[in-house]
Structure 1
Amino acid sequence: MADDEGRQRRHHFLVVAYGVQSHVNPSRVLAHRLTQLGVDGSVLATLSVQVAAHRRMFPSVDGDMETTDGVISYVPHSDGLDDGSTPKDAEDRARRRRASSESLSTIVSRLADRGRPVSCIICTMASPPVLDVAREHGIPLAIYWIQPATVLAVSYHYFHGYDEVIAAHAVNPSYEVCLPGLSRPLQIGSFPSFLVDTSGSEMAKAINDVFRELFEYIDQWRPKILVNTFNELEENAVIEMKQHLDMFVIGPMVGSSKEERIHLFKHDDAGKKRYMEWLGAQLDKSVVYVSFGSITKQTKKQMEEIFRGLQQCGRPYLLVLRKDGLDDDDDSHSFENNAHSQGMVVDWCDQLDVLSHPAVGCFVSHCGWNSTIEAVVSGVPVIGVPNMFDQPTNVHLVEEEWGVGVRGERSSDGVLTGAELARCIGLVMDEGEKAMAIRERARALKELAQAAGNIDGSSERNLLDFVKTIKAHDTFQ
């Protein structure tokens, strides 16, 4: 595509991500994939996160400077909380929104002045400041839905007429609700936590307010919706939501195990060499990999139960326990020092490389969507121990819809006991009929995921179709 003087026009995507691990990695993969669709640099991509997250992503970069990995650029924006603190109340959140909008608006103007005008802004999930900036500058906006299409369907219908029936039964986790796009009723206990919160949590209220505004924006402005899933994984939900939204299914956006990834936690080559060599010394499909993500913290009692369960099952294990991953004053190294001879404890790891290793036989996970879809891509059975956000729904998909794992049930005081963990590990790793069926289904989904993500796969074609719609928009401006 050329301009009036015959010069090749470049299309520039500004991807704005919330500065946490679960948003940054799929956003980076998307930005990279977008540039690969261009010819001779005709598609550019810039990834922007808050200043505090940018500093953690690039600790060796001076201050808050723009940087590049040779493929995409990284430009931080300020949310007014550059020290990484969180807003305390609605007034703080309003100030944060204003600061983010002003900073992102400045970035858009600065990129235009440099000859790199933004053709489209893409934001992860719900980002009110980005909605403001897109309207202000008249730039097309796309929403990057980094949770499953099923959660998109549940959230959409919640804000389109189902909120009252769901709220009326929110205290009954076993109550079933039938929603369009779901192949079976969904229990209240498997809904995204913020939609069925009964504690009066300020966080849940804030998230609901943000999502309500998002769907009002979608209804009015009809932005493109990019969903990190693939058709064969959530066919019913995809078909349903395409009736309501201008949606493009572009997953799995997990990158390649050969690609360098962004880590917001300390991760060095020496540490990786140590755990990868340890995995290499284990038998195929023998290792229990345990990681509860980048947000959830564990109590001392919970960690003691996890160690008890791992010891009881008698299998080698790799356990991720961040230094800040305990919900009290206990030192994570005290657990590391007491690890049993069959296991290894690390502060953080390159999860996709671990899941791709032939020694890993199952994944004990909180079931955030990144972790869930990485397990699917790697063909690894899952033991889901959900905590919040979309995690309960993801575990429902793992166990009830796909049959690639089981849910670990917590006790009445909210703890996954060692006995329950050992039971679940046996269910997915022993030689029983159920375990064999889970492993076979995991292998089958892995093949479907790889086919969808290939260069000529369905998701890659969908992403190209999305880019073409943005180019068409540019043509008629």
Structure 2
Amino acid sequence: MGIIPHFLVIPFPVLGHINPLTQFSNVLTKHGCKVTFLHTEFSHKRAKISEDDDGGSQDHIKYVTLPDGLDHEDDRSDNVKVLFSMKKTMPSMLPKLIEDINALDTNNKITCIVATINMGWALEVGRKLGIKCALLFPASATTMASVYCLPKLMEEGIVDSDGNITKTQEIQFSPLMPMMDAKNFAWGTNGKAFFDHLYQEEIQLLNLAEWWLCNSAYDLEPGAFSMSSKFLSIGPLIESDNNNNNKSSSFWQEDTTCLEWLDQQQPQSVVYVSFGSLAVMESKQLKELALALDLIDKPFLWVVRPDNMNSERNNKYPDEFHGRKGKIVDWAPQKKVLNHPAIACFISHCGWNSTIEGVYSGVPFLCWPFFSDQFWDESYICNVWKVGLGLNKDDNGFISKEEIKKKVLQLLGDEGIRERSLKLKQVTWNNLTEGGQSTKNLENFVNWAK
């Protein structure tokens, strides 16, 4: 039978990193591997993970925690602050934790560490202890390619030492990749301290990882995957709906009543609106979106996170908003929603997890990116795959209700976009079938870990 690989997986503590790593952990357990999942104490409490759950793969996933170094009252929505605190606190604690985990089962010691980007220090600890290391990149392979190319971009003077773009231009990371707008680099909004960390440490630490795993399919971004033999497509990491996968790693309680509500709607009639776990919409724009949903006059399912509606943000729905045709929830089981026959289109922030879930479900997109890699994802959706439309903003960056209505109706009336969405869905699925590229890559990865 050989060695059962035992993975220690370590995400940066935001949902966009935790979710793909949780999905990857479930895939590994299906391959007979053992997984120990390291959360920060804070995100473990938020995720309300119960280890008493019944169910197949949970038996193989054990949860452990370490403190992130911040005080209870510190603002953890400041990701750069969390990053530097963890980097200062956790590296010295990790060897002892690994020792304790190994002592519990001496026949199944940790054989491989898989961390997400920003957790490069964990790969450094792993290498010192003689443990194999891999990186799971939670954004697109194209975004990974931009990080990989950063030294070259600085050499060519396209990016300066503060991470600023010196030339407004379209750039191409390799001849096989589409042109991308340089101003949309993923690190653009995080400041110099983050850029220095990325450039001086994270890129060097990437070289400690033997594989850069991407939650993407080769056929979605072939040019990016051909840039380095380390790039490995293993996605989409979308689990089949068995009972075990009803457990969510979300920070908010999923409102499953929306699925029963969707059952009562006509096929391809519902506009689904969700902006992920981090994007915050300011008050005036949120009110305009509410009025747009009335104006469109179609059934809608709108996810509005509790933290986007708290009193500090002064966000509340406008008095003239009826919302009679819609349902508003705090948080939704998105994969199930997107796969529901009632969904007509997805108004999305274009975060990579949402993008890959929408593509996998064959749903047309209306793109509303907020920051970071979301603009490049929009570019793929609209210009490369041609399965969605973008929104035009006015000079103040505001999107009017008339523009939202116009684009939704244009999207729903476009048979070409609908056909391409279904075709792309099939292409994506083919990567996961027996003999598909992602399936083969996963098998090779597990064999490497053995």
Which of 241, 249, 256 is equivalent to 2:228? 241
Q: Does 1:170 align with 2:165?
A: yes
- Aligned-residue offset at 1:222: 5.3
2:253 is matched with which residue? Answer: 267
Task: Give a deviation string over 1:359-396, Cα, whole Å, max 9, x none.
Answer: 11110111100000000000001111111121111001
- Aligned to 2:220, the other structure's residue is in SS state coil
Q: Does 1:254 align with 2:235?
A: no
- Aligned-residue offset at 1:85: 3.6
- Aligned to 2:239, the other structure's residue is in SS state coil
Which of 194, 206, 209 is equivalent to 2:197? 209
Aligned partner letter, 1:321: V
Question: In angstroms, what is the RMSD of aligned CA positions?
Answer: 2.7
Output the CA distance in 1 between the equivalents of 2:373 and 2:319: 30
2:268 is matched with which residue? Answer: 285
Which of 432, 437, 440 is equivalent to 1:458? 437
1:58 is matched with which residue? Answer: 48
2:173 is matched with which residue? Answer: 179
1:102 is matched with which residue? Answer: 92
Output the CA distance in 1 between the equivalents of 2:319 and 2:94: 42
Which of 31, 34, 44 is equivalent to 1:44? 34
- Aligned to 1:167, the other structure's residue is in SS state coil
- Aligned to 2:158, the other structure's residue is in SS state helix
- Aligned to 1:253, the other structure's residue is in SS state coil
Question: Is residue 317–residue 343 contact of structure 1 (8 Å, CA) maintained in 2?
Answer: yes
C-alpha change, 1:280 and 1:89, in structure 2 (3 Å) is: closer
Output the CA distance in 2 between the equivalents of 1:449 and 1:401: 15
Task: Give a deviation string over 1:175-212, Cα, whole Å, max 9, x none.
Answer: 222321553321234x33424x5xxx53x641552354
- Aligned-residue offset at 1:22: 1.1
Question: Is residue 287–residue 360 contact of structure 1 (8 Å, CA) maintained in 2?
Answer: yes
Residues 390-429 of structure 1 correspond to what in structure 2 (within 5 A)? Answer: 390-429=373-412
Q: Does 1:449 align with 2:419?
A: no
Gaps of 5+ in 2: none
C-alpha change, 1:335 and 1:138, in structure 2 (3 Å) is: farther
2:147 is matched with which residue? Answer: 155
Question: Is residue 300–residue 325 contact of structure 2 (8 Å, CA) maintained in 1?
Answer: yes
Question: Is residue 194–residue 208 contact of structure 1 (8 Å, CA) maintained in 2?
Answer: no
C-alpha change, 1:85 and 1:454, in structure 2 (3 Å) is: farther
Task: Give a deviation string over 1:188-244, Cα, whole Å, max 9, x none.
Answer: 34x33424x5xxx53x6415523542222334x3521111111111112111233xx
Return the TM-score normalized by structure 2: 0.89
Gaps of 5+ in 1: 3-8, 63-67, 472-477
- Aligned-residue offset at 1:24: 1.3
- Aligned to 1:229, the other structure's residue is in SS state coil
1:123 is matched with which residue? Answer: 115
Output the CA distance in 1 between the equivalents of 2:318 and 2:104: 52
Task: Give a deviation string over 1:323-362, Cα, whole Å, max 9, x none.
Answer: 1114863566656994421111111111111101111111
C-alpha change, 1:184 and 1:350, in structure 2 (3 Å) is: same
Output the CA distance in 2 between the equivalents of 1:362 and 1:183: 27
Output the CA distance in 2 between the equivalents of 1:414 and 1:159: 32
Output the CA distance in 1 between the equivalents of 2:43 and 2:342: 33
Question: Is residue 194–residue 205 contact of structure 1 (8 Å, CA) maintained in 2?
Answer: no
- Aligned to 1:80, the other structure's residue is in SS state coil
Output the CA distance in 2 between the equivalents of 1:356 and 1:296: 23
Output the CA distance in 1 between the equivalents of 2:263 and 2:125: 49
- Aligned to 1:290, the other structure's residue is in SS state strand
Task: Give a deviation string over 1:117-143, Cα, whole Å, max 9, x none.
Answer: 110000012313313321331211100
Output the CA distance in 2 between the equivalents of 1:336 and 1:462: 53
Aligned partner letter, 1:11: P
2:68 is matched with which residue? Answer: 79
Q: Does 1:28 align with 2:22?
A: yes
Output the CA distance in 1 between the equivalents of 2:167 and 2:390: 19
Output the CA distance in 2 between the equivalents of 1:145 and 1:59: 23
C-alpha change, 1:458 and 1:133, in structure 2 (3 Å) is: same
- Aligned to 2:402, the other structure's residue is in SS state helix
- Aligned to 2:93, the other structure's residue is in SS state helix
Structure 1 window deviating more from structure 2 (119-128 vs 178-187): it is 178-187
- Aligned-residue offset at 1:96: 2.7
Q: How many residues align?
A: 438
1:14 is matched with which residue? Answer: 8
2:133 is matched with which residue? Answer: 141
- Aligned to 2:266, the other structure's residue is in SS state coil
- Aligned-residue offset at 1:165: 3.8
C-alpha change, 1:92 and 1:391, in structure 2 (3 Å) is: closer
Return the TM-score normalized by structure 1: 0.84
C-alpha change, 1:336 and 1:206, in structure 2 (3 Å) is: farther
- Aligned-residue offset at 1:147: 1.1
Q: Does 1:192 align with 2:182?
A: no
Q: Does 1:351 align with 2:334?
A: yes
Question: Is residue 290–residue 317 contact of structure 2 (8 Å, CA) maintained in 1?
Answer: no
Percent identical pairs in the alignment equals 28
Question: Is residue 294–residue 322 contact of structure 2 (8 Å, CA) maintained in 1?
Answer: no
Question: Is residue 380–residue 442 contact of structure 1 (8 Å, CA) maintained in 2?
Answer: yes
Output the CA distance in 1 between the equivalents of 2:59 and 2:320: 40
